[in-house]
Structures are given as structure tokens and as C-alpha cells.
Amino acid sequence: MPPKFFITHSWKDIDFARKLCDDLRANGLDGFFDAYSIKPGDLISKEISDGLEKCDVYVPILSHAALKSPWCDEEIHAALTLGKFPGRSGRPRIIPILVEDCQEAMPILLRTRLYIMFDGCYDDAFRELLIKGFGVALQTPTPKSQPPEVLALPSPKVVSLLRRIMSPAHSIIHPKAKKEMILVPAGEFVMGDDKGGKDEKPSHKVFLNAFYISRYPVTNAEYKKFVDATKHRIPRHWQNEEIPTGNENDPVVYVSWEDAVGYCKWAGVRLPTEAEWEKAASWDDAKKLKRVYPWGDEFDADKCNTSESKIGDTTPVGKYSPQGDSEYGVGDMAGNVWEWCADWYDGNYYKNSPAQNPQGPDSRSQRVLRGGSWNLSRDFARCAIRDHVNPHNRSYVIGFRVAESFPGVGSVS
């Protein structure tokens, strides 16, 4: 069986990585390349771990951008560590590929390895990679045209374009917040529900730029790091300034909108808009259909924490994953806790809502809540349901999750 590859790359080098993967496949090889191997809803960390475990040849595509990327750094060190495990005999073999003159910036453990320079000589370098790296003779000549230009720093025009294009679905671990953030690609979705409450009407099409949203709400343990670092006030249900035993991985509650914004500023993220929240919860991109609940149109008490579950309290985030996740793989969007959104609330906002990237009204007296909670019924767990309270409110059923615009910290890197 031909050796399998794993390609690590910076987002700025995506065109080169795609071409390299296509040429490797044209020559009878197969392996892991995120744009082809990861599908919406996949748990990214698991797919990457499986891909590294199975690969025989690890191919990090190195540029100045890649060497500054926390995501690339994590994959490179994982491959280096994996090769040292007993019984693996050094597998995967690591073959650095340089698309820029960046040797001086390479980690010392990569500088000691023989690399292949692809900058300006793609055909010869590809032939060397096949023969010396994979032990495979060239079957399909590579195109004579020049490979896509590799940009060290994207121009404002390129960044603007990236904000709008459909991007391969994937997630990142945010470098500061340390939360898994799932990419929701740019595009239209249907917001609202004509069968729902008055403030959910009319349903209307909305275009959103690509964005990241946290896979789960912020937990007590995550919020405590913020409290310890900033001396921010603690949620009032914490005992002796400590999280109640056993609730470390439950969503944090008794946090006001201002508390949530304070956490976001500290963690380098933001609250999602209610349009972003609803798209991440309800939209099936492949079928271009809106779901009533994150998992589908029929309620299922085994897929969320609502009053039908008869638990009577918050549950750890991820308890209902993956069966209760949205199509994008975002969890805990039905029940458990209401979640703060960035927007001011207006019950008539949908009648004149912008068709692109709505941000809510400029000012009102209450902020939007989404998602329902553990003490309410299935009717309040619908993706389109809207609620609202004073931003100073601190309740035992209100928490929050975080978001980030695309490209953001760790996304285009």
C-alpha cells in the first residue's frame, strides 16, 4: 500500500497546499488535507489526531506565516512527538517543504532535517518529493504553469475577499481563550420563523460574513481563569469564591451582559450577534434548509437539557454531543442556559432588518438572549426563539458563548 501523507499549512498557503495535494493524489497517493478531509460537523481535533496517527509521511508547508501560526506549531510538534513513540520506528517521516526562504525562523528540530525548497522550482521539487520522500516514480507530469503565488502577507484586497468566500469548514483552538472555535462559512441563511412568535416574524434571508463561534458555552472553569486574572466579581453561587464541586464543566451562570463582555475583552473574542447565533444553531448549508432544533425538526429530550429531561439543573457542556449538535458541529444550543448575544433587543427589528450582517438596533433597554434553558420546555429550545432582559441581569439560567470574526486570531495565519 502506498504511504499516506499529512499536510500542514497556513491559511495563506492554501492554494499551494491544494495544488500539492492534488498532484500527490494524481500520482497514486492519499492522505490528510484539511480542505478535503474535514467535513462540516466533524470534531476537528479528532480528525487531525487520526490523520497524524495514520500518516507515513508528514509534510509541513513552511512559510513565515506558517511559522507564526499556533495551529501549525501544534501539528508540527504533535508529529515530532508521535515519531518518538515506541513501536513506530520514527513514523511519520517528516519532510519540511519550504515555499519561502524562512530557514532562519524554523524550529531547531526542523532545521536538522533535510528540507525541499519549492520556491520557484515546483516541478523539480515535486519530483524530488515523490522519489526521495515517498519512493514513488512520477506518473502524471505536473502542469507547466507556475504554481499559485505564495503571499507572505495578504493585501487588504485579499483579506477582504477571504472574509466573503466560502471557506473549508474547520475549527481552531483560540490561542488566548483556549476554546474550540468552529468556522461558520460565509453565505445566506433564513433567519426567523413565520410559525413562531411575533418577534420571530417575518422569516427573511440574511447574508453573513464567515465567523467563528465557540463549540460550547463558557464554563465555570474557564470563567474562573478570567476572575483569577482580573479580580472580576465572582458569580454569586460560587461558594467561598470557588466553583461548586462537580460543576467545573457546566456553563457559567449569574453573569450579566457586562460580565460576559468583560470576559470577551480579556480573552480576545466577542459575543456573537443573534444572527450569527441563529445561523450556527439552525442552518444546514448542504441542503440550504433551516432546522427547528439544532439536530432537526423533531424534538428529542435525549439531545438537550430542557424541562422534559427532568434534570432540574445545568449539565456539563458536551453532554449531548454529537447527537444534539447543529449541522456545523456547535453544541448546547438548545436548553441548558440562555446565552447573551451582542445585540440590543427590538421586537419589530426583523421587519426592517439589514439583509447583510445585521447588528441589531443602535440602542434599546434590553439585550437579546438565545437558546432556552434547563427549566423551560421544548418550545423555548427552538433555534429561532428570542428572549430579552436588562443587560445588568444576573440569573441562574443565563450564560454565554463567544465568537470571533473571520479572519481572526489564529484563523488566517
pTM for this prediction: 0.62
Question: Per mean pLDDT, which range of 14-23, 139-148, 234-243, 324-333 is the poorest?
Answer: 139-148
What pLDDT digit, counting tens, does each position of 301-319 carry?
999 999 999 999 999 999 9
- What is the model's pLDDT at position 148? 42
What pLDDT digit, counting tens, does each position of 324-339 carry?
999 999 999 999 999 9
What pLDDT digit, counting tens, does each position of 216-266 carry?
999 999 999 999 999 999 999 998 889 999 999 999 999 999 999 999 999
What pLDDT digit, counting tens, does each position of 363-411 carry?
999 999 999 999 999 999 999 999 999 999 999 999 999 999 876 543 3
* Concatenated DSSP letters of 122-180: HHHHHHHIIIIII-----SPPPSSPPPPPPSS--HHHHHHHHHS-----EEE-TTT--E
Q: Crossing angle of helices 44-54/70-82, nearest 10°? A: 40
Check pLDDT > 70 for residue 166.
no
Cis? peptide before 391, omega within 30° of 0:
no
Rg over CA atoms, the chain: 23
DSSP annotation of 2: P
Q: Which residue has the cell 466553583?
A: 243
What pLDDT digit, counting tens, does each position of 183-228 carry?
888 889 999 999 999 999 999 999 998 899 999 999 999 999 999 9
The H or E element spanning position 19 is helix 14-26
pLDDT band at 12 (very low <50, low <70, confident <90, very high): confident
For residues 291 and 288, what is the distance between their CA atoms, to the nearest angstrom?
10
Task: Evaluate whether 315 touches 374 at the Cβ level (below 8 Å).
Answer: yes
User: Measuring CA to CA, which residue among 228, 220, 168, 238 is closest to residue 17?
Assistant: 168
Check pLDDT > 90 for residue 150.
no
Mention every residue, 6+ apart, whose C-beta is less than 8 A from residue 264.
270, 271, 402
Q: Which residue has the cell 440602542?
A: 363
- What is the model's pLDDT at position 103? 84
Mean pLDDT for all residues in the chain: 87
Query: Beta strand 211-214 with 403-405: parallel, antiparallel or unpaired?
Result: antiparallel
For residues 19 and 56, what is the distance between their CA atoms, to the nearest angstrom?
20
Can you read off the three cell numbers belonging to residue 308? Answer: 422534559
